[in-house]
Amino acid sequence: MSAARGDRARAAEQNPDPLLVACALRIERLALRGAGRGAPEAYALLRTGMGPRAAERAVGRALEGPGMERAAVLATGFCAGLVPGMHPGDLVVAEEARDREGAVGCTGTALLAEVLARAAPGRTVHRGALTGSDHVVRGQERAQLRATGAIAVDMESVATLRTATRGGSRPVAAVRVIVDAPEHELVRIGTVRGGISAFRVLRAVLPAFYDWHRSLLLPRR
């Protein structure tokens, strides 16, 4: 490692700005807490509850806390894939998170996809638009959302990132693990197996979130 690169790495390790990782469900928090031993001090895990309104309230309160003015925010958990050929356990890195109110751009998506691929070898990492919904999406509605150009859907990411960027700029990202896909819908027999696969992947990729966060101090190329 060069001296300059070493200095940048040490600066990143000393970054006082925290990372807030937000998820909705108890099972998602369980996966992330189980993987969080040895987490950096500047790391906070927030369970928001299900749905966009719950996410907006919880994230808004969390970011009003002391020391959170410049916190990076990463929304994560499970999602439904919209593209045929996706499988439970695949990863989605949002390049933007959007709904009827508009879109929120995400930070450092190329690097995030790279570190996720290393953290979960053998898993496919998809990059594209993540769309929001206030309910579980099934059947024809899935095809309608795909026609808008989105590759996956969940209920909290858009609200989380929009709340995080309201009133100012901060690094934000969304990483979701597919638990439900066009050929593997939640109502089918394979759901339990798909859910276990998604849980294991979510637990495995938490260190990639730290790598993304540490990279935020590095000079942009």
List, for residues 36-45, the tens digit of each pLDDT value.
565 666 789 9
Tens digits of per-residue pLDDT, 77-90? Answer: 999 999 999 999 99
Give Cα separations from 119 to 23, 60, 116, 212 (angstroms): 19, 30, 5, 12
- For residue 141, the model assigns a pLDDT of 86
Mean pLDDT of 131-136: 90
At 1 the pLDDT is 41
Q: Which residues of 6-26 are buried (b: 16+ CB within 10 A; e: fewer)?
A: eebeeeeeebebbbbbbbbee
- Taken as a whole, the chain contains a residue count of 221
Q: From CA 195, how far away is CA 185, in angstroms rounded?
A: 11
Is 174's pLDDT higher than 60? yes
Residue 195 has pLDDT above 90, yes or no: no
Q: Is the pLDDT at 12 greater than 50, yes or no? A: no
Q: What is the pLDDT of residues 59-68, one digit of tens each?
A: 999 999 998 9
- Predicted pLDDT at 182: 76
d(CA 179, CA 175): 13
- Whether residue 76 contacts residue 32, with contact meaning beta carbons closer than 8 Å, is answered with yes
Q: Is the pLDDT of residue 189 over 50?
A: no
Write the CA distances from 125 to 61, 94, 96, integer angstroms: 31, 10, 15
- Four-way CATH pick for 3-215: 3.30.70.330, 3.40.50.1580, 3.40.50.2300, 3.40.50.970: 3.40.50.1580
The pLDDT score that the predictor gives to residue 185 is 65
CA angle 192, 182, 204 (to 5 degrees): 50
pTM over 0.75: yes
Q: Which residue has the higher pLDDT, 143 or 55?
A: 55
Q: Is residue 188's pLDDT more than 60?
A: no
> Domain extents for the chain?
3-215
Instruction: Determine the pLDDT at residue 3.
Output: 42
Neighbours of 47 (CB within 10 A): 18
Decide: 54 and 11 in contact? Cβ < 8 Å.
no
User: How high is the pLDDT of residue 18?
Assistant: 93
Most confident residue range from 4-13, 22-31, 138-147: 22-31
pLDDT for position 16: 61
Q: How many CB atoms lie within 10 A of CB 193?
A: 12
